[in-house]
Amino acid sequence: MSKIAIVTDSTSGLSDKDLAELGNVFLVHFEVQLNGKFYHEGVDITDAQFYKELSTAPEFPTTAPPSMQEMFDFYDTVAAKGYDEIISIHITSGITGFYNNLVTALNDYTGPKVHAVDSFLSIQPMGYLVKYASKLAHDGENVDEILAKVDSQKRTIGEYFVVDDLKNLVHGGRLTNAAAFAGSMLRIKPILTMNNPEHKIVATDKIRTMHRALHFIEGEFEEHRKNTDYKLRMFLTGTNNADSMEKWKERLAKQYPDLTIETGQISPVIGAHLGNNAYVLGWSEEVFDK
């Protein structure tokens, strides 16, 4: 029987504690450039430091994934730990070319067999997908079984999010329909999603206040929940607003007492495009509470 490792990237939001508990998951770190310095998120810059500097930075930050050679070297280190096959789950191809580049590059990789997976998303729902793959590997499922279940699971993932303004997304080119919203971006709270076939960031609605915007995306979640025949897990994730996430959770927990609701904070690479005080409501089929 093959010994299977799971590799993912730092946009998944998995902590060192998560990795220690999972045991078979290994994390590569994306880079962010801010104020002329390069940092590996989760290694040599904290979330608090990043968002503090972001608020006064004279230029927009930039982000970069590992090179393909760095990925190959990383896979080699994982193989050296005794793993025969690797499932590599990464940030959606809808907002970065990393996944597609990796798939192409793997044709030239001569180490253990690597199965690349486009998560369709990032942050907490992607981390949850990785945890599910880890569990399946620990349970003794083979690669084909794990890949099939991961593919089914990721298709239950969705999200809506609200940013304070669009300037970071527009500048970084991550917003697909930016032209339709950029003219009024300082006067609205845009509703964004990646719930589309390309899994790109698309603005869907314009709301005047953050309070109304949050109620709008809560309504979108409820519509999805009512039309779903399986239990969901909810993820509330933000940028530099942990206290607000906990208050949001307290309110929604009263409405959904039977759902597990996770809160978290978005790390610098994704935060570089969302800016401070973003609110994300995500969901996925519940796989650990059945």
Per-residue pLDDT of the chain (290 residues; tens, 9 = 90+): 689 999 999 999 999 999 999 999 999 999 999 888 999 998 988 888 898 888 888 888 889 999 999 999 999 999 999 999 999 999 999 889 999 999 999 999 999 999 999 999 889 999 999 999 999 999 999 999 999 999 999 999 999 999 886 666 665 555 554 444 554 455 678 888 888 888 888 888 888 889 999 999 999 999 999 999 999 999 999 999 999 999 999 999 999 999 999 999 999 998 888 888 999 999 999 998 75
Cross-sheet strand order for the sheet of 62-64: 37-40, 31-34, 62-64
Domains belonging to the chain, first-starting first, are 4-30+65-154 (3.40.50.10440), 158-285 (3.30.1180.10)
Output the six-digit token pair for 218.
């809560």
State the virtual CA torsion across 255, 256, 262, 266 in degrees, nearest 10: -50
pTM of the predicted model over 0.85? yes
Beta carbons of 67 and 92 less than 8 angstroms apart: no
Q: How far is CA 208 from CA 43, 143, 240, 278, in A?
A: 38, 48, 21, 15
Output the six-digit token pair for 134.
């880890």
CB-facing half-sphere around the CA of 19: CA atoms within 13 A:
16
